[in-house]
Amino acid sequence: MTRQEPTRLFGLGLGPGDPDYMTVRARKLLETADRLVHFCKRGRRGNARTIADAVVGQNPEREIALAYPVTTEIPADHPDYAAALNPFYEEAAARLLAEVEAGRTVGVLCEGDPFFYGSFMHLWWRLKDRMPIEVVPAVTAMSGAWTHAGAPITWGDDVLTVVPGTLPEPELMRRLACTDAAVVMKLGSHLPKVRAALKSTGLFERAIYVERATMAEERIVPLPDLPEDWDAPYFSLIIVPGQGRRV
């Protein structure tokens, strides 16, 4: 019988921003991993690493920063985007593999849940057949958003649709037209297009804009009250609560 290889690579879901929403499992691994890996823009700390500050201080010997070669400079559907990101993820996966093969435990820090629009998935997909990996689930940004907004998202038989704001406007309209409740992720510069899609599908008046959910800079505003020229950051989303069966 072959002895099972120990798990040394972990995808740590750290939740939406407030460190109090971090799971006990994530906190334990955060404190004990030999290496803490985080994605970031060049010259900046990653948001997941900032969340972790409440638990672990900075230690250069533990830190591995994976700086994206591009973020929003190139549209995600442009061939140059994949051409830049593919080798980046390949190199990052090789670096983590080398750390694990050296006998070190590695925690990849993920804001929200690792398997929900997370960059960690690209590493997991490349490494899952080469080593044991534990993924630690977490509270998602959208869950933190509707909870802090005091807006139950689904009632009775409501159907919830989650869409990225990066979709073309006609596709956003198609998806939103046949749902009871919705969450629109990845707003940023796509906010005007998302506004238009929500107006066209009759969801605009009950839509709520949430920026940096559960973080210190959190902002919650009914979408109709948000200025038209509002500069939405990447960490913003829109929720549309359902209106289903209530007893």
Choose the final residue of a domain: 94, 109, 139.
139
Q: Quick check: 39 and 6 in contact, CB under 8 A?
A: no
* CA gap 44, 17 in Å, rounded: 17
Domain membership flag for residue 35: yes
Predicted confidence at residue 173, as pLDDT, reads 98
Pair 31, 122 in one domain: yes
Task: Quote the domain boundaries for residue 162.
Answer: 142-240
Least confident interval from 3-7, 76-80, 179-183: 76-80
pLDDT tier at 130, thresholds 50, 70, 90: very high
Mean pLDDT taken over the chain: 93
> Would the CA dihedral through 197, 204, 232, 239 be positive or negative?
negative
* CA gap 191, 197 in Å, rounded: 10
Choose the final residue of a domain: 111, 139, 167.
139
Predicted confidence at residue 81, as pLDDT, reads 72
Q: Above 80 in pLDDT, residue 73?
A: no
Pair 108, 199 in one domain: no
To the nearest whole percent, how much of the chain has pLDDT over 90? Answer: 83
| Average pLDDT over every residue of 170-191 | 96
- The CATH code of the domain that includes 87 is 3.40.1010.10
Return phi, psi of residue 101, to 5°: -65, -20
Of 71 and 28, the structure prediction assigns the larger pLDDT to: 28
* CA gap 25, 111 in Å, rounded: 15
Q: What is the pLDDT of residues 25-58, one digit of tens each?
A: 999 999 999 999 999 988 888 889 999 999 998 8
Predicted confidence at residue 74, as pLDDT, reads 63
* CA gap 170, 146 in Å, rounded: 26
| Average pLDDT over every residue of 18-30 | 96
* CA gap 90, 95 in Å, rounded: 9
| Average pLDDT over every residue of 204-231 | 96
Strand ranges of the sheet holding 106-110, from the earlier edge strand across to the other edge: 63-67, 35-40, 106-110, 9-13, 133-136
Q: Above 50 in pLDDT, residue 1?
A: no
Least confident interval from 37-41, 70-74, 108-112: 70-74
Pair 28, 131 in one domain: yes
Choose the final residue of a domain: 139, 166, 184.
139
Q: Looking up tokens 């740590």, which residue turns up?
A: 12
Pair 75, 193 in one domain: no
Pair 104, 28 in one domain: yes
Instruction: Dig out the tokens for 71 from the structure.
Output: 């973020």
Q: Quick check: 232 and 173 in contact, CB under 8 A?
A: no
What angle in degrees, to the nearest 10, is found between the helix axes of 79-101 and 120-127?
60
The number of beta carbons lying within 10 Å of the beta carbon of residue 125 is 11
pLDDT tier at 75, thresholds 50, 70, 90: low
| Average pLDDT over every residue of 179-201 | 96
Helix (H) and strand (E) counts in the chain: 7, 10
| Amino acid letter for position 18 | D
SS3 134: strand
Q: Above 60 in pLDDT, residue 142?
A: yes
Domain membership flag for residue 107: yes
| Amino acid letter for position 127 | L
pLDDT tier at 2, thresholds 50, 70, 90: very low
Q: What's the distance, Cα to Cα, between the start and end of the chain in Å?
A: 57
Q: What pTM did the predictor assign?
A: 0.90
SS3 56: coil
| Average pLDDT over every residue of 119-124 | 97
Predicted confidence at residue 186, as pLDDT, reads 92
* CA gap 213, 219 in Å, rounded: 7
